[in-house]
Amino acid sequence: MIRKYIDRLFGRGHKVTHKDARPTIYAKDKHDVRREDISRCARKTCEELQRAGHTAFVVGGAVRDLLLGYKPKDFDVATSATPEEVRGVFRRSRIIGRRFQIVHVLCGADMVEVSTFRAHFAREVDEDNVDEHGRMLSDNIFGTQAEDALRRDFTVNALFYDPVKEEVWDYVHGLKDLKAKKLVMIGDPGTRYREDPVRMLRAARLSAKLGLEIDAKTAAPIATHKHFLENVPHARLFEEIRDPASWVGRISPEVAARR
């Protein structure tokens, strides 16, 4: 029964629905991201974690932007290592956060944010998992790489890059959507907006910033769910709109030459 619910939630016509899902792996000759495109600190972080026996990838917006030919401002790393294990690998690091801990790894003046793979346990809407405004509440716990991909918001934000093997790992057809200039929500859009209404703003921002067309199913619930934004703290709304890390820089000459 639980498996059927997960399959329904993360449908969209593909079979990537559980922790044992296998990614499509694109070798270096199948994409435009190169090791030298990644910051030295992010490369070192992935290399050292892998050397210690963990999996570690650059993930999210940085991978998306590099595939589009833009130079990211920040690089995040996702890993199978727990925060304590990450802390044990890097002397210059600190664990932050309470509800879900992440690690800041320092390399000189540079810093990389490292998070452990998370699982997304969405539940049926009932009085026990919604707040007074009707917003869904969800649990965050450690999980597998596949589960980490599925709990992210849009398919283009769920791409992993291994700077050691120079491979892109894709669990949710994110690369195909990126090439098609489509912004597609992972899972049921209405449910995902209720979990975090800021995703509606993010959809509009990414669409405008990157020239992506919002998928019809992804856009459909926004009109009926926009009132959930009224109960989001103004500071968080402002952060989503103005966050400098979310705005890409100029196109990278190195990437432009390969396009």
**Residues labelled catalytic:** 74, 76, 153
Name the residue among 159, 150, 155 with its Cα closest to residue 62: 159
Q: CA 32, CA 34: separation in Å to the nearest integer? A: 6
Contacts 24+ apart (CB under 8 A), 8-17: 8/188, 9/122, 9/187, 9/188, 9/191, 10/150, 10/186, 10/187, 11/187, 11/188, 12/184, 12/186, 12/187, 14/172, 14/173, 16/146, 16/149, 16/150, 16/171, 16/172, 17/150
